[in-house]
Amino acid sequence: MKNLGLGIAIAGSGSATPTQVLSNDDLSRIVDTSDEWISSRTGIKNRRIASNEESLADLAARAGQNAIAAAGLAADDIDLIILATSTSDDLFGTAARVQHLIGATQAAAFDLTAACSGFVFGLVTASQFIYTGAYRNILLIGADILSRWVDWNDRATCILFGDGAGAVVLQASDRDRLLGFALSSDGSQNQELNLAYQAQPNPLTDNITTSTGGYQAITMNGREVYRFAVAKVPDIISKALFRANLEASAIDWLLLHQANQRILDAVASRLDIPSEKTISNLANYGNTSAASIPIALDEAVRSGKIKPGDTIAASGFGAGLTWGAAIFQWGKE
């Protein structure tokens, strides 16, 4: 429930990506693939890969600091940090480490996991704290290092993913610029894309067994995930638009999770949104999971493409399965 007079502005963005670049040609020396296959099937040319020295916390903190500066705030103005990630440095959570690195001494911090939908789920979660009046300045970061969990012998998955972090600052504001949203999950399709714990029995006593396992690499049924995205994403954007009382023609920018250029094109076409309004940076970064929407947003804001007051339809989709959409106006002016 919205507290009257408490709206949301998305006041600043930031991003950070590793310096190592892995090209399609590099990949063709690791698995049986080619630049031609990857480019034509996905639109991806390069991806950034975190080195052994780079942590998720470092990337997330750099993106967060950039967003705080862009919003014209100081680190100790931040009340809450939400880190959307599926690749935490620490299963107990990485957000508190990020809080320390940023020096956001007043902020509570927690991780949120919804795979490639993490940024949109995080945006909606953060907004609830503002609507209730609990917090005024929230740093939302989407960050993932999927390269740690890719099977580099599996050409069906290793060509898709890259690493990075993106962030926004949400601020309490008189006018609400989060115009509508919708979230969805379907655990019955969990097997189509996962990074699951594999249990190994560990007999502790005669009648007690614990489990001592590990995480297997990312496994994915690409065709099913493709079908799911093309079917569900236009629907959930339409639902969020309906809640915002807007037509698709009112959207200035379609900002989808950067999974595959063919998915971006198919969704835009189903919503009748021209390709000039679709933001795409897939060619340079591949699929960076929870980071993909905020990295693309940050680049488009910094290049002057997205301007204050522009209406953006953002949609994340992926493992879970989860998918969600948020319609918002950029900036606080």
Q: Which of 116, 137, 158, 260 is catalytic?
A: 116
Nearer to ligand UT7, 38 or 82 (CB): 38
Instruction: Please tell me the number of Cα atoms within 13 Å of 313 on its side-chain side.
Output: 29
User: Residue 297 gets which letter from DSSP?
Assistant: H
Q: Which of residues 229-268 bind ligand UT7 (CB under 6 A)?
A: 257, 259-260
With CB under 6 A as the contact rule, the residue among 37, 103, 238, 281 that binds ligand UT7 is: 37
Distance of CA 308 to the CA centre of its chain: 22
Q: Considering the complex, what minimum distance in angstroms separates the CB of residue 229 from ligand UT7? A: 6
Q: Please pick, from the candidates 108, 156, 248, 283, the single residue that binds ligand UT7 as defined by CB under 6 A.
A: 156
Give the residue, chosen from 127, 173, 287, 322, that forms a contact with ligand UT7 under the rule CB under 6 A.
287
Tokens (6 digits) for 330: 């950029």
Q: Which residue has the tokens 């019955």?
A: 188
Count of residues touching ligand UT7 (by CB under 6 A): 19
The answer to whether 100 is a known catalytic residue is no
Is 44 near ligand UT7 (CB under 6 A)?
A: no
CA 323 to CA 184: how far, in whole Å?
5
Of 72-80, 202-210, 221-229, 307-315, which segment contacts ligand UT7 by CB under 6 A? 221-229
Q: Are 101 and 57 in contact (CB under 8 A)?
A: yes
- Annotated active-site residue in 24, 66, 137, 257: 257
Q: Does 11 bind ligand UT7 (CB under 6 A)?
A: no
Note the residue count of the chain. Answer: 333
Instruction: Give the span between the Cα atoms of 111 and 82, in whole angstroms.
Output: 6
Options 13-21, 49-57, 84-92, 217-225: segment touching ligand UT7 (CB under 6 A): 217-225
- The answer to whether residue 260 is catalytic is no
* Long-range contact pairs involving 95-99 (C-beta distance under 8 Å, separation at least 24): 97/57, 98/57, 98/60, 98/61, 98/64, 98/141
Q: Is 257 a catalytic residue?
A: yes
CA separation for the pair 29, 18 (Å, rounded): 21
* Residues labelled catalytic: 116, 257, 287
Residue ranges in contact with ligand UT7 by CB under 6 A: 33, 37-38, 41-42, 116, 155-156, 159, 220, 222-223, 225-226, 257, 259-260, 287, 318
